[in-house]
Chains A and B, each alone.
Chain A
């Protein structure tokens, strides 16, 4: 009886040409099958099932399908940004023009207002007004940009490297921060564009913050964004420069004055 159970477990191996059974094992199984009607029947049934399964051939895919497999994959890979709740889902629908158009509009407005102020006010008053407006306003395009970068910074700031206890884990630990190169590229471009906008606005705090963000984004762009070393370096930059605090402080000024 015990042998019968063992034989049953071995039959799938027997039916596979590349099995790992030794010659003796194979001979023993066949010897048992010859003398045991029940196991012989089991073998027949399993062989029938195997033969049936072999009639389910793998569909042959076109050369084009295989040739383009990687490019399809790469598109998805670029779309995946960070494995953290919210961020990946949030960024999927992101389009560059959402930032470019408001940024361009804001830049035109800023220049226009600056020119108007310059023309209408005497020197000292002009400076004062600029200083006051810069304290109270945050350009919406810049505010949006901060919104875009913030979740990434929060993730890096919360990053706690954990050892895998030597196991090859197929799951990425939730704490690990992952950023796609294309995301970084987009944020960097957005950052560089807005750098010019805030420079024109004389918003010194925002300008400094954007400079510091540039350092972080460049660090991510030039290194492997997935490595622990990068994560630690970025975390350090965020902490040393109080980036998140400054960002929150600036974001509070958004919308108070309404336009720009």
Chain B
């Protein structure tokens, strides 16, 4: 753990001194995490690209405020959430809903259950439809609800951590989470039976 901290604080100091290579190292270490978090938040590959890059630019420019109390990735998560919420507030991210043309160019061969989709076109069509429904359902959430839901449910973070990241109380995290779940269940309820969920162990 200490080793990791030393490594990170060395990188941060180098970036503070204008070292672009050190910054590149930070980007390479975190690009996938931040890109996919941005994807979960925005639901579009193009927006994920824009948001994640905005995050790294912000990080580069505000590196002098980083004091090493949290890890770099936690700090980047926080910037991602704040930038996402901020941009939603300013409505600069006018996501074109379900616009897959650009996304298809960006994505490599899509995968379904770990197999390339072309291996099974029918299942692919079904999964595409389901995914579209999921994206539509996620669009029903407010940016704050979506942020909490993504961090709690998709990233598997504890309520406490999510509260710290978003600078809100654990109670607020809980109520946002429960609102998000309720909305999603309303929209996606018809899938419930087809999934064949076994009740706990």
Binding stretch for chain A, among B3-11, B87-95, B108-116, B139-147:
B108-116
Q: Indicate which residue in A13, A17, A59, A73 contacts B53 across the interface (CB closer than 8 Å).
A: A73
Contact B107 A171 (CB under 8 A): no
B106 contacts the other chain (Cβ, under 8 Å)? yes
Contact B184 A55 (CB under 8 A): no
B159 contacts the other chain (Cβ, under 8 Å)? yes
Q: Indicate which residue in B60, B66, B195 contacts A48 across the interface (CB closer than 8 Å).
A: B195
CB distance from B17 to the nearest CB of A (A): 6
Binding stretch for chain B, among A94-102, A124-132, A193-201, A219-227:
A219-227
CB distance from B188 to the nearest CB of A (A): 6
Q: Indicate which residue in A33, A74, A172, A224 contacts B62 across the interface (CB closer than 8 Å).
A: A172
Q: Give the complex CA separation of A53 and B192 in angstroms.
A: 12
A47 contacts the other chain (Cβ, under 8 Å)? yes
A58 contacts the other chain (Cβ, under 8 Å)? yes
Q: Give the complex CA separation of A72 and B48 in angstroms.
A: 13
State which size class the interface on A falls in.
35 or more
Q: Give the complex CA separation of A181 and B60 in angstroms.
A: 13
Q: Give the complex CA separation of A63 and B31 in angstroms.
A: 13
Q: Give the complex CA separation of A69 and B79 in angstroms.
A: 19
Contact B61 A83 (CB under 8 A): yes
Contact A55 B109 (CB under 8 A): no
Contact A49 B107 (CB under 8 A): no
B residues near A40, Cβ cutoff 8 Å: 199-200
Q: Give the complex CA separation of A170 and B64 in angstroms.
A: 10
Binding stretch for chain B, among A107-115, A146-154, A161-169, A239-247:
A161-169
Q: Give the complex CA separation of A228 and B62 in angstroms.
A: 12
Residue of B with least CB distance to A83: B61
Q: Give the complex CA separation of A16 and B153 in angstroms.
A: 7
Residue of A with least CB distance to B78: A170
Q: Give the complex CA separation of A66 and B28 in angstroms.
A: 9
Contact B31 A30 (CB under 8 A): no
Residue of A with least CB distance to B199: A44
Q: Indicate which residue in B82, B107, B131, B134 contacts A60 across the interface (CB closer than 8 Å).
A: B107
B177 contacts the other chain (Cβ, under 8 Å)? yes
Contact B39 A59 (CB under 8 A): yes
Q: A12-B152, A168-B67 are in contact. Are A48 and B158 (CB under 8 A)?
A: no
Contact B53 A8 (CB under 8 A): no
Contact A19 B156 (CB under 8 A): yes
A178 contacts the other chain (Cβ, under 8 Å)? yes
Q: Indicate which residue in B107, B192, B200 contacts A33 across the interface (CB closer than 8 Å).
A: B200
Binding site for A on B (CB under 8 A): 16-18, 20, 24, 27-28, 31-32, 35-36, 39, 45, 49, 53, 56-58, 60-67, 69-70, 75, 78-79, 82-83, 103, 106-113, 127, 130-131, 134-135, 152-154, 156, 158-159, 174, 177-178, 181, 184-185, 188, 191-192, 195, 197, 199-201
Sample 9 A-B pairs with CB under 8 A, ordered by A number.
A30-B200, A56-B130, A56-B131, A56-B134, A73-B53, A83-B61, A168-B69, A226-B61, A228-B64
